[in-house]
Amino acid sequence: MMQQPARSVSEKIKSTLKKAMGGVAFSLSTGLSVGVFFLQFLDWWYSSENQETIKSLTALPTPPPPVHLDYNSDSPLLPKMKTVCPLCRKTRVNDTVLATSGYVFCYRCVFNYVRSHQSCPITGYPTEVQHLIKLYSPEN
């Protein structure tokens, strides 16, 4: 009867050792896989082909600035006074800039125009209502 507990203790030890060996084997396998992946990544990162691609991209010339339409001062589209809205031709109320072109309008005028035409009324650049930015002046 005394040998029964000894067997159960030895069996528990063997079972624990088997589990521990399985965990060690799994850890080594996973670690080896991650290590091989990391080495392949480093090989790719420092490869001459990758370096040539990076050099070719950085060697590209800087693109020219966007072409803006030149409006002379007597253009019928732009008012002579800078405080006048180009759409309603009145003094601007709730100054709002159109981010795609930089022109300033009354909020109500430009909102309605952009909502219906999806473009800047001066330049014709495509735009959306989200490109409207309210301007705050010291008087407001």
Domain boundaries along the sequence of the chain:
3-58, 65-140
Instruction: Establish how many alpha carbons lie within 13 A of residue 114's alpha carbon, considering only the half-sphere containing its beta carbon.
Output: 26
Say if residue 94's pLDDT is above 60: yes
State the Cα–Cα distance between residues 106 and 74, nearest whole angstrom.
Answer: 21
Contact 135, 104 (CB under 8 A): yes
1 — pLDDT class (breaks 50, 70, 90): very low
Q: How many CA atoms lie within 13 A of 68 on its CB side?
A: 9
The partner residues of 132 in beta bridges, in order of sequence, read 98
Token digits for 24?
Answer: 């060690």
- How is residue 135 written in tokens? 């301007």
Q: Is the pLDDT of residue 6 over 60?
A: no
In whole angstroms, give the CA distance from residue 57 to residue 46.
Answer: 16
Architecture of domain 65-140: 2-Layer Sandwich (3.30)
Residue 17 has pLDDT above 80, yes or no: yes
Alpha-carbon distance 85 to 87, whole Å?
5
Count of other CB atoms within 10 angstroms of residue 85: 22
CA atoms within 13 A on the CB side of 75: 12
Residue 46 reports pLDDT greater than 90: no
Nearest to 82 by CA among 137, 133, 30, 37: 137
Regarding pTM above 0.85, the answer is no
